[in-house]
Amino acid sequence: MKIIILIKQVPAVHEIRINRTLGTVQREGFDAMINPDDEHALELGLSLKEKFGGEVYAVSMGPPQAEGALRECLAMGVDYAVLLSHHRFAMSDTLQTTFVLERAIRKLEPFDIVITGSKTLDSGTGHIPVQLSEALAIPLISQIYKMEIKNGFFIGERTYGHEYQSIKVKLPIIIRVDRGFNEVRFIPLLGIKQAFEKKIEIWNFDTFECPDEIDGCEKSPTKLLEVIDEKIIRKNVEIIGTNDEKAQKILDFIKKVHIQKIKSPLDLE
Amino acid sequence: MNFELTEQQKVVRTSVRKFAEEVLGPNAPIVDKEAKFSWETKKELEKINAWGISIPEKYGGSGLDSICNSIVIEELARVCASTALTVTVHNSVAAYPIYKFGTEYQKEKFLVELATGKKLGAFSLSEANAGSDVSATETIATQDGDEFVVNGSKIYVTNGGVADISLVGAKYVSENNDKGFAILIMEKDMLGYEIGEPEDKMGMRGSSTTALYFDGVRVPKENILGSLREGFKVAMHSLDAGRIGIAAQALGIAQAAFEMSADYSLHRVQFGRPISKFQGVSFKIAEIATKIENARFLTYRAAWLRDQGKSFTKEAAMCKYYASMIGREVCQEALQIYGGYGYSKDLPLERFYRDVKITEIYEGTNEIMKAIISRQVLQNL
């Protein structure tokens, strides 16, 4: 079985800084890590390999330093790592990213399963798996909580709104996993030793003869206009009295906040 | 000169830190309180290959360098010093000496199982009347044909109660009445090999420390580590390597105490401001941060010398002496920053303080370290 896992390097949680001029996440000089959702994709890919055999590829698009994240994938047990890196890929929005990923995945054909996380920590659109499914014209399977692979089919169960669905789909497919799906293994020391003896493939604009439509800077239809910090102001209030008095005070407070809301300029009244 | 860790060393740090925080973190106060060796933790450590960090892949290890080895111990100790102790003793003074001095037969028979974590290792030198003074060893191995018959006992053996394979220092008498000091590889199921009661210790309570008794244990002569006459050299070289591990351990404990107290100083408000705004506290932070940095450089340099195949006896003694001393000082000051809260068993600072103390004592007391350092410094004048 050939499994392709898409991963992204993101800034370590405590290190996120926004470049206000470009409206992008600043990556230079900060600690980085594998996007947490993608670790669950890696875990699924590796456990499928352990069960069914085959090869696991980790593919990432990003600047040269994203090699670090791929190195960790290799340490976890991935067989091959491919970095998609070129200045024409920089500043790509999710559509441009999809175009590049699609080409990279096609270059790895025939494959059985592509696995992605649900969203990235630093941009969080969740577009990629959906768009890739469309671009590659293969089904996207998401929200699964149970699965197996049998005779070239994916057989599994997933939540779907208020329902549980049992589904059977012919491979190849894209699987999108969430954080709760599995427990991610720790990186073994032997894996770290071996990861630095493996080669990371670098594919650029010319590797798969990209058409002119690929140009992250110039041809991304999504333009980020502004990035604002989310500010939550919390205040501690002490509520003293009997239980009835406390309840009344809380009720008064809720009413007061509610009244303020009605008076907001957005409200029709 | 390059003071940066390599990419590989950095990945070792982030990976082991994550493992330690998630796997050892919840257990560390429990193993301390219950003075219990955790076999579950031992299995988890097996999964990340922590039992053969620097042993070559050929013998079941991970083949990482000594700096990586130090980083692993440091990161484990930052969360659970008892676990770091079990791991460092197994790696540095049980598995490593067999790799360094063992015969191919010994490597195949003992090293592979140690490095993969199938079996645990110990190293025992101290006796009731011999510790710093190895020449006072009373355990005796008398040759009888193809075997040595061992009688005597050892005390304060780290991993004593859990180790399958122990390296035991003993005086020997060979058949031609040749006498000297040898290191024997012993297995716990050998007839006459007895494990004593667990020691009730001040710290490192999650690690197993016991006495070992040998009552006519018959050890095949193939189990002599190195050659008969090499015993003292084997022991001293192993201890040199072990000392870097102890320094890394003290460093990890100090790092944990530092991080906690620095963070606390920013949030603890007295007299209308965080206590970090008072020089009485901020200078303490400056001092302990500097000491830790200093200890780290000494430790990594000793490890680096070892990787380069250069002599590191002096540097190992220096980093062990310095890191353990400042480790104790850092824990003391960090506890002081916390005031009464630091003295409570609700917080791990008192555990750090109890745990770190032994690093000044074992793997050669700091007084012995100073004797080694001064001898090395003076003889090179």
What is the rounded average pLDDT of the residues A64-91?
Answer: 94
| End-to-end Cα separation, chain A, in angstroms | 62
Choosing from B120, B147, B167, the residue where a domain stops is B120
Instruction: List b or e across B70-88, with b for residues whose CB sees 16 or more CB atoms inside 10 angstroms.
Output: bbbbbbbbbbbbbbbbbbb
What is the rounded average pLDDT of the residues A171-189?
Answer: 94
pLDDT band at A225 (very low <50, low <70, confident <90, very high): confident
Is B57 close to A193, i.e. CB distance below 8 A?
yes
Helix runs in A88-242, H state only: 94-107, 127-136, 189-195, 216-219
B236 shares its domain with B225: no
For chain A, percent of residues with pLDDT exceeding 90:
60
Task: Report which residue type is found at B26.
Answer: P
Is B11 close to A190, i.e. CB distance below 8 A?
no
Is B68 close to A71, i.e. CB distance below 8 A?
no
Is A196 close to B7, i.e. CB distance below 8 A?
yes
pLDDT recorded at residue A243 = 94
Crossing angle of helices B39-47 and B81-88, in 10° steps, is 60
B365 shares its domain with B267: yes
B226 shares its domain with B196: yes
Taking the CA of residue B259 and the nearest CA in chain A, the distance in Å comes to 15
For A2, other C-beta atoms within 10 Å of its C-beta total 18
B154 shares its domain with B86: no
> Is residue B266 domain-resident?
yes
CB of A185 within 8 Å of a chain B CB? The answer is yes
Residue A234 has pLDDT above 90, yes or no: no
Q: What ipTM does this complex have?
A: 0.93
B193 shares its domain with B332: no
Is residue B372 within 8 A of residue B317, CB to CB? The reply is: yes
Is B49 close to A71, i.e. CB distance below 8 A?
no
pLDDT recorded at residue B1 = 85
Listing DSSP states for A10-73 in one string gives EE-GGG--EETTTTEE--TTS-EEE-HHHHHHHHHHHHHHHHH--EEEEEEES-GGGHHHHHHH
Residue A260 has pLDDT above 60, yes or no: no
Judging contacts by C-beta atoms under 8 Å, the chain A residues touching residue B14 are: 33
Taking the CA of residue A269 and the nearest CA in chain B, the distance in Å comes to 45
Check B113, B199, B333, B363 and give the catalytic one: B363
| Domain ranges within chain A, ordered by starting residue | 2-219, 235-269
Distance CA B49, CA B316 (A): 25
Cα–Cα nearest to B320, from B336, B333, B301: B301
Q: Chain A neighbours among B 22-41 (CB < 8 Å)?
A: 22-23
> Is residue B182 domain-resident?
yes
The single-letter DSSP state of residue B94 is I
Measured CA to CA in angstroms, residue B22 lies from A183, A186, B26, B44, B80 at distances of 12, 10, 7, 11, 11
* Mutation for testing the A interface, residue in B18, B48, B54 having most A CBs under 10 Å: B48
A190 sits in the region (left: phi over 0; alpha: psi -120 to 50; else beta) called alpha
By Cβ distance, the residue of A72, A188, A196 closest to B48 is A188
Residue B247: give its domain's CATH number.
Answer: 1.20.140.10
- Which residues in chain B show pLDDT less than 70? none
Is residue A63 within 8 A of residue A90, CB to CB? The reply is: yes
Distance CA A121, CA A11 (A): 8
> Is residue B1 domain-resident?
no
Is A192 close to B50, i.e. CB distance below 8 A?
no
B253 shares its domain with B223: no
Residue A172 preceded by cis peptide, ω within 30: yes
Choosing from B196, B213, B230, the residue where a domain stops is B230
Residue B363 designated active-site: yes
B251 shares its domain with B307: yes
CA angle A111, A156, A158 (to 5 degrees): 115
The beta strands (E) that lie in B159-238 are given as: 165-173, 179-187, 193-195, 209-220
pLDDT recorded at residue A221 = 87
Is A186 close to B72, i.e. CB distance below 8 A?
no
Taking the CA of residue A185 and the nearest CA in chain B, the distance in Å comes to 9
CB of B18 within 8 Å of a chain A CB? The answer is yes
Taking the CA of residue A258 and the nearest CA in chain B, the distance in Å comes to 34
> Is residue B2 domain-resident?
no
What the block records as the tokens of A153 is: 């089919």
C-alpha of A111 from chain center:
20
pLDDT recorded at residue A269 = 40
Number of alpha carbons in the 13 Å side-chain half-sphere of residue B141: 28
Domain extent at residue B206: 122-230
Residue A267 has pLDDT above 50, yes or no: no
Choosing from B188, B213, B230, the residue where a domain stops is B230
- Chain B residue whose CA is closest to A33: B14
Domains identified in chain B, total number? 3
Residue B200: give its domain's CATH number.
Answer: 2.40.110.10
Output phi, psi for B364, to 5 deg.
95, 120
B205 shares its domain with B273: no
CB of B270 within 8 Å of a chain A CB? The answer is no
Distance CA B334, CA B83 (A): 22
In tens, the pLDDT along B296-338 reads 999 999 999 999 999 999 999 999 999 999 999 999 999 999 9
B146 shares its domain with B72: no
B249 shares its domain with B373: yes
CB of A189 within 8 Å of a chain B CB? The answer is yes
| A2-219 is classed CATH 3.40.50.620 | yes
CB of A158 within 8 Å of a chain B CB? The answer is no
Residue A19 has pLDDT above 70, yes or no: no
Residue A268 has pLDDT above 50, yes or no: no
B184 shares its domain with B268: no
Is B11 close to A189, i.e. CB distance below 8 A?
no
Cα–Cα nearest to A185, from A261, A106, A77: A77
3-state helix, strand, coil in chain A (%, to 5): 35, 25, 40
